[in-house]
Amino acid sequence: MKPKRLGRTNIEAFPIAFGGIPIQRVSEEEAIRVVRRAIELGVNLIDTARAYSDSEVKIGKAIKGLGKRIYLSSKSFGRTADQIYEDVKISLKNLGVNKIDIYHIHGVNDRETFDRVLSSDGAYYGLLRAKSERLIDFIAASTHNVDIARDLIMTDKFDVIQVCYNFIEREAEEKVFPLAKEKDIGIIAMKPMGGGVLPNPKLSLKFVLQNDFVLPDPGMESVKEVEENIRLLIELTPLTQEEIEEIERTKGEMGKTFCRRCDYCQPCPQGIPISTIIRAQSFIKRFPKENLKEKWFYDVYLKAQTCTRCGTCLPRCPYQLPIPDLIEENLKLLRDYLGE
């Protein structure tokens, strides 16, 4: 397969990267089997994060002793230089390597976080230190906000940007990709299957693969998923008229329920992280149940129960989502899933 050059990193990546979220849900033995099968079939870039519980550890054990050049990408929610520097060292230990190719500031989704991580003692400078000590090669950032993605690129401080891209979330095509091309910034396309909620995963990935510029990193938790995704790549053809019609039909059906994570609905008077709670279905599909009972997410779940249906969020949403109804529906999903 013709590799994809990941911007000025000059990394020649297999056209599909391996997303490391779902392997949290399977045993260590199975996770190792899945990762190694992906590598056998040509995958050479694996993306994970400190926040993905044991994903780094499982990946580290999977790549140990393989003798193949595998590019590693990880992330940290550390917002200060010291926090993210320490997380880099933890990631190195977990992955069993001396250097990580790409390290992201994880989830730079709003202006406050943007300003914090670029402040004088912010996370960016922790990664700059890690790079100077040859603990990482390239500095990156992930974001769910296309406007923030543009601003990150404009700083000229980041070699790679990770941004959402699928056939519903297409704003990056105009707002991010042209600028990234101009500045030779690599783009990793996260959520190519909409975080697991788009009904036809194969078509979702096929859509993203039509774009030669971006590198999708679908999460994979079984050998079957790995083989299906690679087969789709090998047999890739242009979208048919029937597939285009299915995409448009799905967009029409999901357009009033699919959260793009722009957070224009904020702030909520009750302090509810709206874009997190109304994506509960995606979290349920990708994370182990025990992770959803951890403080970071469980606090969101509890806070969402204080929704008064005041409607303050409604006129702010550019997609006219029925946010109070979606909060209620997703709370029910979580109660059922968590057995509460």
pLDDT of residue 178: 98
193: how many CB neighbours lie within 10 A of its CB? 27
Least Cα distance to 197 among 222, 219, 181, 229 occurs for 219
Rounded alpha-carbon distances, angstroms, from residue 297 to 71, 125, 283, 303, 334: 30, 28, 9, 10, 11
Query: Residue 302, class by beta-carbon neighbours within 10 Å (0-12 exposed, 13-18 middle, 19+ buried)?
Result: exposed
Q: In the predicted model, what is the mean pLDDT of residues 11-19?
A: 98
Each residue's pLDDT tens digit, 228-284: 999 999 999 999 999 999 999 999 988 788 888 888 898 999 999 999 999 998 889
Q: Confidence class of residue 167 from pLDDT cuts 50, 70 and 90?
A: very high
pLDDT of residue 311: 95
pLDDT of residue 134: 98
Q: Confidence class of residue 285 from pLDDT cuts 50, 70 and 90?
A: confident
Least Cα distance to 201 among 213, 209, 192, 210 occurs for 192
Q: What angle do CA 98, 99, 101 make, to 5 degrees?
A: 155
Give yes or no for a contact between 84 and 60, defined as CB atoms under 8 angstroms apart.
no
Q: In the predicted model, what is the mean pLDDT of residues 283-289?
A: 87
The answer to whether residue 157 scores a pLDDT higher than 90 is yes
pLDDT of residue 86: 98
The 3-state secondary structure of 269-319, one letter per residue: CCCCCHHHHCCHHHHHHHCCHHHHCCHHHHHHHHHHCCCCCCCCCHHHCCC
pLDDT of residue 189: 98
Torsion of CA 211, 215, 219, 225, to 10 degrees: 60
The answer to whether residue 195 scores a pLDDT higher than 90 is no
Q: β-strand 100-105 against 18-19: which pairing, if any?
A: unpaired
Which CATH architecture group holds 4-240?
Alpha-Beta Barrel (3.20)
N residues, the chain? 340
Query: Residue 312, class by beta-carbon neighbours within 10 Å (0-12 exposed, 13-18 middle, 19+ buried)?
Result: middle
For the chain, the first-to-last Cα distance in angstroms comes to 48
The answer to whether residue 340 scores a pLDDT higher than 90 is no
Q: Confidence class of residue 333 from pLDDT cuts 50, 70 and 90?
A: very high
Distance, in Å, from the CA atom of 286 to the CA atom of 197, rounded to the nearest integer, reads: 10
Amino acid at position 8, single letter: R
The answer to whether residue 296 scores a pLDDT higher than 90 is no
The answer to whether residue 319 scores a pLDDT higher than 90 is no
Q: What is the DSSP string of 172-241?
A: HHHHTHHHHHHHT-EEEEE-TTGGGTSS-HHHHHHHHHT-TT-EE--B--SHHHHHHHHHHHHT--PPPH
pLDDT of residue 114: 98
Average pLDDT, the chain: 95
pLDDT of residue 256: 82
Q: What angle do CA 233, 235, 240 make, to 5 degrees?
A: 100
Of the two residues 77 and 288, the one the predictor is more confident about is 77
Each residue's pLDDT tens digit, 210-234: 999 999 999 999 999 999 999 999 9
Q: In the predicted model, what is the mean pLDDT of residues 131-157?
A: 97
Residues of the chain above pLDDT 70, percent: 100
Residues of the chain above pLDDT 90, percent: 86
Q: β-strand 4-5 against 12-13: which pairing, if any?
A: antiparallel
Q: Which of 1-5, 104-108, 183-187, 188-192 has the lowest mean pLDDT?
A: 1-5
